[in-house]
Structure 1
Amino acid sequence: EYAVLAPYLKETAAIIYQINQGVKEQNSVSLINALKELNESGTISLDEDNLNSQASQHPNLIPLGFTIMFMMFAISSSVSSIHLEYKDYTWQRLLSSPIHKVYVLLGYFIAYFLLGWLQLGVLLTVLSVFFNMYLGNLILIFLFGSFVIGLVVSLGFMIATLSHTKKQTEIFSAIIIVGTCMLGGVYWPLDIVPDIMKKISMAIPQTWMMSGFGEIMSGTVNHSILLLDTTVLVAFTIVFMIIGLKSIRSY
């Protein structure tokens, strides 16, 4: 992970090799003494800075992961109220109006999108102010956070439209959210899981959410990685929205 250290290691290895070649005809004590002198020559101190001369951060993403999980539960619970509108015939009246169901879905999407940003904004502010958590570039946080919220809302719509009752929506949401958070690196870093779990995590939206936020909050943004994370989130969002749109019932 410390690429800047590689040249020093290679140089040291080359010096040791040259010393070994120079004293190999002599007894081993000469090599030991030479290595002792090399060892006493000093130590290397590394200070990694980003382009803004701000110390690079290695953020603890677990609090942010739980923030995402709580937001997913809140939005999913809010979207599940669509079944109450089924019961009160509000949904049927909306779909029987001249408005296309795409615009109906878009209206709900915007409402829950704003709700999601309200919750995420408050939680990020708390993490920054009270827990002194470095958030990185706020513009990138806003843009990437918007894609994350869009995906969460589309997932909630998909679950709600595929379910037949509000209770089913709540149960399916709990199973899906908790399960995907476990596989997506929300509860623990993916570095500690087996390789097979890492491969499975590539199909989990939370994996790309955590990757994108981690890249932004590290202080040194690799834009190619961030673009990949964003592209995957947009793809998930489109798929979930299409499934939700096709699953809308008018009864």
Structure 2
Amino acid sequence: MNACVAILKRSMVSLLRQRGNVIWMLVMPIIFSFVFGILPNLGGGSPLHVSVIDEDKSVVSRGFIQEMKQNPKYAVKVISPDEANDELRNFSADVIITLPHGLERQALSHHTLDIYSTISPNVGQSSSSTAPSDLQNQLKEWALAGNIALQKAEQHGHLSTASAEQAFTAGMNQAKAIHTPVQVTSSTLSGGKVQNHALTQQEHSVLGFAVMFIIFTLFGSTGTILEEKMRGSWSRLKTSPASQRSVMTGYGLSFVLIGWVQYALMILAGRLLFKINIPFNGWMALTVTLYIFAIAGFALCISGLVKTREQHMATGGFIASITSMIAGVYWPLDLEPNWMQHMSWFLPQGWALDAFQTAALSGVTLSALIWPLTVLAGFAVVFFSIGMVQLRYS
């Protein structure tokens, strides 16, 4: 037991003594969180960027476009169908509105209008997340006002196509005077209780970079074993009176504690510097613990394949950066091609972020988390077991 405590204490002192570790554990995560997570979402008052595909090219479709352009809440531009995918992938559009062929015929025949909208995954769950829904409601109000004006005009006799178009578009313009009679508030039901908190895009970013930098930190801490092997202290430790169980337990606990320190630093930095309060409950604690075990075991496995600590850290940095990008740390997972989304199924970061998103809802039950937690537990058991066996017999 004394050997276990001594190893745990020595690991923490060694970690905090090196200035480079402090940079990687605190400074770099804060910079990444700000640049990729906080900065893109600071413009809360910016208009919703709307790209419109006008397939109908009629008076009515142009009337819809004109109404959107007159609204200061929307930055509207007309694009071709071929440009739609690029608009989403380049974050140029928050919403793509498609006005299909036959829209005017539907409007003048008093039929339900088929207007399609595609919302970019980049529109996070923030203060502006209701803007796409507001636009959809606005389109419905314009269509309703136009239909009512057309019906009134038809009461005075048969209308020509041009007169019907003018009546419909004039009615849409009069919708500015309509005030919403009902205010709707949405809530999330979880565990039989109404929940009002889900992870915002900024909270997701802070958690995502916490997940990524846990990899850097654990690769750095497991890399110290390579130094001990090179200095010969590892051989002396194995031949000391301390039992191998105490030695393995000490190192295992030190890796878990170091991972939790990294996670705690990220959460505190987000709260103190960016005023982002990450929810915390037992499910999130379990998710963090399973993820740390998985990454610590994986780092130990890699340490048995390289010769120097520099190689170990370079490998860890490459793996952390590439796999975190694929798993959706830097950007929403829905923006990635299907083959990359499928690759995230084989990465512990993706399952950890999935579990975080669900666990953030207070009152969530095990049934909602059983799949991501089971996969994370599988990663943890396999990687940590192999890593500790490799460490014991190295």
Shift of residue 155, structure 1, vs aligned partner: 1.9
Counterpart residue number, 1:45: 184
* CA distance 1:248–1:118, change in 2 (3 Å): closer
Provide Cα deviations, 1:20-72, integer angstroms capped at 9, x if missing partner. Answer: xxxxxxx94699899649x9895672321556655232422112111221222
- The 8 Å contact of residues 295 and 383 in structure 2, kept in 1 or not, is answered as no
The one of 73, 76, 85 equivalent to 2:228 is 85
Shift of residue 122, structure 1, vs aligned partner: 2.5
* CA distance 1:178–1:100, change in 2 (3 Å): farther
- The 8 Å contact of residues 300 and 391 in structure 2, kept in 1 or not, is answered as no
Counterpart residue number, 1:67: 210
Counterpart residue number, 1:171: 314
Q: How does 1:216-227 map to 2 (within 5 A)?
A: 216-219=359-362, 221=364, 223-227=366-370
* CA distance 1:161–1:102, change in 2 (3 Å): farther
> Which whole-Å CA distance do the structure 2 matches of 1:29 and 1:185 have between them?
44
SS in 2 for 1:162: coil
- The 8 Å contact of residues 57 and 219 in structure 1, kept in 2 or not, is answered as no
Q: How does 1:99-118 map to 2 (within 5 A)?
A: 101=244, 103-118=246-261
Shift of residue 121, structure 1, vs aligned partner: 1.5
1:56 and 2:193 matched: no
- The 8 Å contact of residues 352 and 376 in structure 2, kept in 1 or not, is answered as yes
Provide Cα deviations, 1:126-172, integer angstroms capped at 9, x if missing partner. Answer: 32344333433423222222222222222221221222221221121
- The 8 Å contact of residues 162 and 247 in structure 1, kept in 2 or not, is answered as no
* CA distance 1:46–1:243, change in 2 (3 Å): same
Task: Give the TM-score normalised by structure 1.
Answer: 0.75
Task: Give the TM-score normalised by structure 2.
Answer: 0.50
The one of 366, 377, 380 equivalent to 1:237 is 380
Shift of residue 225, structure 1, vs aligned partner: 3.6
SS in 2 for 1:163: coil
Counterpart residue number, 1:23: none
> Which whole-Å CA distance do the structure 1 matches of 2:223 and 2:307 have between them?
10
**Aligned residue type for 2:186:** D
Provide Cα deviations, 1:157-207, integer angstroms capped at 9, x if missing partner. Answer: 122122222122112111111111111111111111111111111001100
Counterpart residue number, 2:115: none
Larger Rg: 2
1:144 and 2:287 matched: yes
SS in 2 for 1:81: helix
> Which whole-Å CA distance do the structure 1 matches of 2:270 and 2:296 have between them?
23
* CA distance 1:55–1:249, change in 2 (3 Å): closer
Gaps of 5+ in 1: 1-26
- The 8 Å contact of residues 301 and 387 in structure 2, kept in 1 or not, is answered as yes
> Which whole-Å CA distance do the structure 2 matches of 1:128 and 1:89 have between them?
43
Shift of residue 218, structure 1, vs aligned partner: 4.4
The one of 328, 331, 344 equivalent to 1:185 is 328
**Aligned residue type for 1:234:** A
SS in 2 for 1:140: helix
> Which whole-Å CA distance do the structure 1 matches of 2:383 and 2:110 have between them?
70
* CA distance 1:170–1:30, change in 2 (3 Å): closer
**Aligned residue type for 1:57:** A
* CA distance 1:59–1:30, change in 2 (3 Å): closer
Shift of residue 97, structure 1, vs aligned partner: 4.8
**Aligned residue type for 1:85:** E
Counterpart residue number, 2:347: 204
* CA distance 1:29–1:137, change in 2 (3 Å): closer
> Which whole-Å CA distance do the structure 1 matches of 2:251 and 2:377 have between them?
18
Greater percentage in helix: 1
SS in 1 for 2:331: coil
Identical pairs, percent: 26
Greater percentage in strand: 2
**Aligned residue type for 1:174:** G
Higher alpha-carbon deviation: 48-57 or 176-185: 48-57
Higher alpha-carbon deviation: 164-173 or 240-249: 240-249
SS in 1 for 2:346: coil
